[in-house]
Amino acid sequence: MLFFTQCFGAVLDLIHLRFQHYKAKRVFSAAGQLVCVVNPTHSLKYAPTRCTAAQASTEQGMLPPCHHHEEVHDPQLVPCTCPLFSCPWEGHLEVVVSHLRQTHRINILQGAEIVFLATDMHLPAPTDWIIMHSCLGHQFLLVLRKQEKYEGHPQFFATMMLIGTPSQANNFTYRLELNRNQRRLKWEATPRSILECVDSVISDGDCLVLNTSLAQLFSDNGSLAIGIAITTSKVHSSEAEM
């Protein structure tokens, strides 16, 4: 009798494994789209006042706005844009990508349309999910951040920054799309330049914003899939119509 019970248990396990495998495959087959699993970055070094000096210089019309040091050495030098890391590095725009890859181990993906699959959405704020995206001859930085703007109420903020100048950024449009449970949410905007500060973009709320309840509706098994597409920008044709 014990033998039969064990056999039945083994069959159930096999069915369960087969189902898990099917589910995993379904997520990653994504009809030609590259799905990238992005694990969270949870740092205790979070320095919310990092951009205070930066914002003051922006108000005076100066760039780049995100310097850690009060004195601006060279307008071509870019401080490290990797959020949540109080990284003292600064360098020219051309070497930001290699710094982010080598020092912060941020992955870089190729392709016009990718799916960003952020895992462990339940982790407490502040948490970031970061990836670089190489497309149309440029590199972009996608930041998804869980943050408590209102104490006790974490929200998710997603934005895309061009690793380039603000005038280069104006040539592009990025789209973030969530699609699950018969709900769809799309955000389209011009990417900001990393010379602007990701912290201030998020604190201004000028990005895709999700309450926890909505993030849960769009999540599957604790992971949030965000479809990303980048195009060269054109004037939004329906804007004039509205």
The contact set with a copy of itself (CB under 8 A) reads 26, 30-31, 33, 115, 149-150, 153, 173, 179-180, 182-190, 204-206, 209, 211-214, 217, 225, 227, 233, 236, 238-242
- The nearer residue to a copy of itself, 134 or 190, going by C-beta atoms, is 190
Closest CB 89 distance from a copy of itself, rounded Å? 31
Closest CB 217 distance from a copy of itself, rounded Å? 6
Query: Rounded CA gap, 161 and 182, in Å?
Result: 29
Residue appearing with tokens 């999910």: 129
DSSP letter for each residue of 129-188: EEEEEEETTEEEEEEEEEEEEETTEEEEEEEEEESS-HHHHTTEEEEEEEEETTEEEEEE
- The nearer residue to a copy of itself, 92 or 183, going by C-beta atoms, is 183
- The nearer residue to a copy of itself, 98 or 179, going by C-beta atoms, is 179
Strand partners, 138: 135
- The nearer residue to a copy of itself, 105 or 122, going by C-beta atoms, is 122
- The nearer residue to a copy of itself, 82 or 169, going by C-beta atoms, is 169
Query: Rounded CA gap, 140 and 68, in Å?
Result: 22
Cβ neighbours of residue 156 closer than 8 Å, sequence gap 6 or more = 121, 144, 145, 146, 209, 210, 212, 215, 224
- The nearer residue to a copy of itself, 5 or 182, going by C-beta atoms, is 182
Element spanning 5, H or E: helix 2-29
Closest CB 176 distance from a copy of itself, rounded Å? 10
Closest CB 107 distance from a copy of itself, rounded Å? 19
Closest CB 13 distance from a copy of itself, rounded Å? 27
Closest CB 148 distance from a copy of itself, rounded Å? 10
- The nearer residue to a copy of itself, 44 or 235, going by C-beta atoms, is 235
Closest CB 147 distance from a copy of itself, rounded Å? 13
Q: How many CA atoms lie within 13 A of 85 on its CB side?
A: 17
Which two three-digit tokens encode residue 208?
A: 């895709």
Residue appearing with tokens 């495959």: 25
Cβ neighbours of residue 74 closer than 8 Å, sequence gap 6 or more = none
